[in-house]
């Protein structure tokens, strides 16, 4: 990895910085009554340069950390680290991340190069168990709280970042759409 300062981050450039939002809504599974939790969130995106793969593919890299706290008690109830990656040549975008439950996600999608300088940019990525854009999880999670699919739509401009995402789970003997959305401002 190299070129933190000079890499061409393309559409990822708008992400870089620190974002805060207090309009988060989480819908998560519980054994009896599923729970809706309003949340606060901080996301930090940092330039991480670019990387060459097999002497052919160049990916620009933005590293991130998400921290989410429940409004009701101020406790952290979701933590996530990952990378957004952009492949200019193939017009591909990726969100590769891990959640500290024993779960890794590599979600991908297309990004139209013609939109690279738009003031507002949308990334659409998805992953599905057993596919190339896929998921890996621990034996416990595979058995008890399996993630089947993940979809995310994230829109970013100079001042505002918003997203909505769905994580499809197989938990407590049923399929469940675990959803999250928030709108954050640049700080
Ligand atoms: C803002 C984002 C998110 C928040 C606030 C959040 C919060 C929660 C909460 C409250 C639960 C219920 C279990 C518990 O009380 O700890 C849960 C379960 C779960 N979440 Fe999330 N989550 C988020 C995003 C994600 C994402 C992106 C994934 C994976 C792609 C994920 C995977 C899971 C899994 C596998 C479970 C089942 C574990 C269980 O309920 O025992 N979550 N999440």
For ligand 1, the distance from its centroid to the CA atom of residue 27, given in whole angstroms, is: 9
CA dihedral 157, 12, 108, 105 (to 10 degrees): -100
Dihedral (CA of 176, 179, 40, 14) sign? positive
Answer whether residue 1 shows pLDDT above 70: no
Q: Which residue has the tokens 């160049």?
A: 58
Write out the H or E segment, with its range, that includes residue 141: helix 139-144
Write out the H or E segment, with its range, that includes residue 115: none
Strand positions, DSSP E, 101-173: 103-110, 121-128, 135-137, 145-156, 160-171
pLDDT value of residue 5: 86
| pLDDT tens profile 108-165 | 999 999 999 999 999 999 999 999 999 999 999 999 999 999 999 999 999 999 999 9
Q: Report the pocket of ligand 1 as residue ranges, CB < 6 Å.
A: 26, 28-29, 37, 39, 68, 77-78, 99, 101, 103, 105, 145, 147, 150, 165, 167, 169, 171, 178, 180
Give the residues across from 160 on adjacent strands.
Answer: 185
| pLDDT tens profile 76-118 | 999 999 999 999 999 999 999 999 999 999 999 999 999 999 9
Full set of structural domains in the chain with CATH: 10-180 (2.40.128.20)
Q: Which residue has the tokens 């901080």?
A: 42
Mutate to test the pocket of ligand 1, among 178, 180, 181 (most ligand atoms within 8 A of CB): 178
Compute CA distances 87 → 56, 109, 117, 123, 154, whole Å.
11, 11, 16, 13, 17
| pLDDT tens profile 3-47 | 888 899 999 999 999 999 999 999 999 999 999 999 999 999 999
For ligand 1, the distance from its centroid to the CA atom of residue 176, given in whole angstroms, is: 11
């Amino acid at each position: 990895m190299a070129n933190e300062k000079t890499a061409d981050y393309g559409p990822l450039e708008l992400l870089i910085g620190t974002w805060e939002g207090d309009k988060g809504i989480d819908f998560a599974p519980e054994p009896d009554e599923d729970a809706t939790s309003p949340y606060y969130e901080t996301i930090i995106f940092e330039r991480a340069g670019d990387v060459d793969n097999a002497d052919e593919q160049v990916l620009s890299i933005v590293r991130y950390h998400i921290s989410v706290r429940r409004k009701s008690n101020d406790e952290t109830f979701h933590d996530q680290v990952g990378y957004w990656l952009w492949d200019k040549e193939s017009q591909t975008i990726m969100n590769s991340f891990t959640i500290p439950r024993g779960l890794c996600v590599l979600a991908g999608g297309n990004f139209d190069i013609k939109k690279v300088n738009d003031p507002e940019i949308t990334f659409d990525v998805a992953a599905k168990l057993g596919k190339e854009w896929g998921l890996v999880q621990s034996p416990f999670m595979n058995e008890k709280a399996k993630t089947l699919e993940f979809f995310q739509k994230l829109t970013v401009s100079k001042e505002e970042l918003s997203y909505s995402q769905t994580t499809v789970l197989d938990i407590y003997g049923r399929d469940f759409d675990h959803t999250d959305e928030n709108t954050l401002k640049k700080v």
